[in-house]
Copies of this chain bind each other. A is one copy, B any other.
């Protein structure tokens, strides 16, 4: 474990314990099967980053109620719902090193349990007593589902631009991180500038986090990653390392890359060839640098908060979003 990870974990240890308990206390289905399917992915070693951001954001705004841990489950349930539906959409086989839910329980149950979790998230958010919170989460869900549709529409399209890639990851990932921080400012009755600062932190962190995730698909081993390396490419999902390298490559290298991309049954050697070209044309470096600049923006957004241990943890989390291995 890296020093940074150890430092963060020791700062949030008791928060994570509370969040874990809240996640199991608030699931609340009447059917055991719903617990089983939801629990399969919900309790499979997720980082709890979204609920943690909520709890920390509330603390940054001196929230003095007692609903923040319960409330923090809303975005983890929502996130889990999208994982259930997305794995099905993507035809994925592994998630966090475990077989995906739809492979065990079938598509039907998986869709319905996802719906249940979506609804649970909204119920819990209504429990805050703040309509704006509900509005933020409902709009977020609209954005996320459309982001996924958008990505599906452009599947395998080697003409996908960096701008369009940004639209997709903004809608499918960054809005969730943004909402996590924003809604906690709302429940804490924070002034507008603090709500805005936390929103910006979350949004930029979310973009960087997704870019890092997209990088891992090329730079990690399957055993570390918990899902199959190269899976994005196999699904025809073009991410920034590829988009950038395609743009920079000379015509013969570009043709070679396109040939590999279009063959969803590419071999390990093909993948290695592609990876070498991504490195050669700076796709890996460019993605890393771009993500790093979003991380800077995220950290700068917190400037108006006084120094505090909570702020330090949020800054550490931003650094960790890139430094992490998984």
Residues of A within 8 A of B (CB): 29-31, 33-34, 82, 85, 88-90, 107-109, 111-116, 118-120, 122-123, 126-127, 129, 131, 134-135, 137-142, 144-146, 148-150, 152-153
Cβ–Cβ < 8 Å partners of A34 in chain B: 146, 149
Query: B126 touching A131 by the CB < 8 A rule?
Result: yes
**A122 partner, pick from B33, B107, B134, beta carbons under 8 A:** B134
Contact (Cβ within 8 A) A145 B85: no
Chain A at the B interface: mostly helix, strand, loop or mixed? helix
Answer whether A134 and B142 are a contact pair too, CB < 8 Å, given A111-B111, A149-B34, A149-B113. Answer: no
Most buried by B among A82, A115, A137, A148: A115
Contact B88 A145 (CB under 8 A): no
CA distance A291 to B261 in the complex (A): 58
Name 17 A/B residue pairs within 8 A (Cβ), A-sorted. A29-B142, A31-B146, A31-B149, A31-B153, A33-B149, A34-B149, A82-B115, A85-B111, A88-B107, A88-B108, A116-B145, A119-B139, A119-B140, A119-B142, A120-B142, A122-B141, A123-B142
Roughly how many angstroms separate A29 CA and B148 CA in the complex, as a whole number? 13
Contact yes or no, A122 B138, CB < 8 A: yes
Task: Given the known inter-chain contacts A31-B146, A153-B31, please indicate yes or no for A138 contacting B112, CB distance below 8 A.
Answer: no
Taking a contact as CB atoms under 8 Å apart, the answer to whether B118 and A141 are in contact is yes
Q: Is the CB of A149 within 8 A of B85?
A: no
- 10 closest cross-chain pairs (CB), A and B: A119-B141, A89-B108, A123-B138, A115-B145, A122-B138, A116-B145, A119-B142, A126-B134, A126-B135, A112-B145
List of B residues within 8 angstroms of A148 by Cβ:
112
Residues from chain B with a CB closer than 8 A to the CB of A153 are 31, 33
Q: How far is the CB of A160 from chain B (nearest CB, A)?
A: 15
Closest to A167 in B: B30
Tell whether, in the assembled complex, residue B33 and residue A113 are in contact, meaning their CB atoms are under 8 Å apart: no
Contact partners of A129 in chain B: CB under 8 A: 131
Q: How far is the CA of A10 from the CA of B146 in the complex (A)?
A: 38
Set B88, B108, B118: member contacting A152, Cβ < 8 A: B108
Q: How far is the CA of A85 from the CA of B82 in the complex (A)?
A: 14
Q: Beyond A88-B111, A111-B111, is A123–B149 a contact (Cβ under 8 Å)? A: no
